[in-house]
Amino acid sequence: MQRLGIFGGTFNPPHKGHIYIALEAIKGAALDKMLFVPCGNPPHKSVEGNVSPVQRFEMTRLAIADYPDFEITDLEMKSKEPSYTLKTLEKLKILYPDAKLCFVVGGDSVRDMKDWYHSEEIFKLAEIVALRRGGIDDSIFESSIELYKETYDAEITVVDILPTDVSSSELRRKIAKGCDVADLIAPSVLEYIKEFEIYKDKI
C-alpha cells in the first residue's frame, strides 16, 4: 500500500525547517511521497503579512520544486471554507482510496492537535508522523503522543530529528526588518518575496 505523506501548513513563507522535516519524514516513516497542502483559511491562526493564499501556494511550489518526492495540491487553497484538516483528509481519502494517509506534524502541532476540529476522527483516518520542534518541550511532545494513543488509539510514528526552531513568524519579522534570511529560505522563494514586496512592512 502506498504511504502518502500529507504536509499541511500555512507556509507563510515556506522555510528550510519545512523542507528538512518533510525529507526526514519520508526517510524515517518510509513514505512514498509528500503532498504539501498550503491552507486557504487556517481555522486556528490568522495569516499575518500582506500575502494572499495564491502567493503562499506559489512560494510553496517554488520551495519544493527541486525535490522529486514532493508534490503540492491546491485542495485547501482554492476553497473558501475554513481549512479543517479532517475535511482535507476526507477529500484526500476519496482521491487516493488505496493509499495509507500519513499526516506529518511538527511538535507545536502535536501539542495543539487535541483542540483541532474533531481530532478523534483525524486519528481514525490517518497515521500521524510526528517530528520534534525546537522550543517545544520534550515532555509536552511525549505526553501529547501518549494521550492520543491512549484516548483515541492513534497510530503515531515518531521520527527522530535534530530539532530546529526556524519558523515562518521569525522569517516574517526578519524580512520586515531587512535582515539577511538567505540561509533559512530557498533562493527562488526569496526572489518571489522581493518581487512582490511581501512582508515588507506588515508582519
| Close Cβ partners of 169 (under 8 Å, ≥ 6 residues apart) | 48, 203
Residue 49 has, within 13 A of its CA and on its CB side, a CA count of 24
Of the candidate residues 77, 99, 106, 192, the single one contacting ligand ATP (CB under 6 A) = 106
99 vs 167, beta carbon nearer ligand ATP: 167
* C-alpha cell belonging to residue 34: 509528500
Does 169 contact ligand ATP by CB under 6 A? yes
Backbone angles phi, psi at 105, to 5 degrees: -140, 140
Of the candidate residues 25, 63, 99, 105, the single one contacting ligand ATP (CB under 6 A) = 105
x/- string (CB under 6 A) for ligand ATP, residues 37-76? ----------------------------------------
77 vs 97, beta carbon nearer ligand ATP: 77
**In angstroms, rounded to a whole number, what is the distance separating the alpha carbons of residues 158 and 161?**
9
38 vs 98, beta carbon nearer ligand ATP: 38
Does 10 contact ligand ATP by CB under 6 A? yes
Q: Contact region for ligand ATP (CB under 6 A) — 89-97, 122-130, 163-171, 177-185?
A: 163-171
97 vs 122, beta carbon nearer ligand ATP: 122
Of 29, 32, 37, the residue nearest 10 (C-alpha) = 37
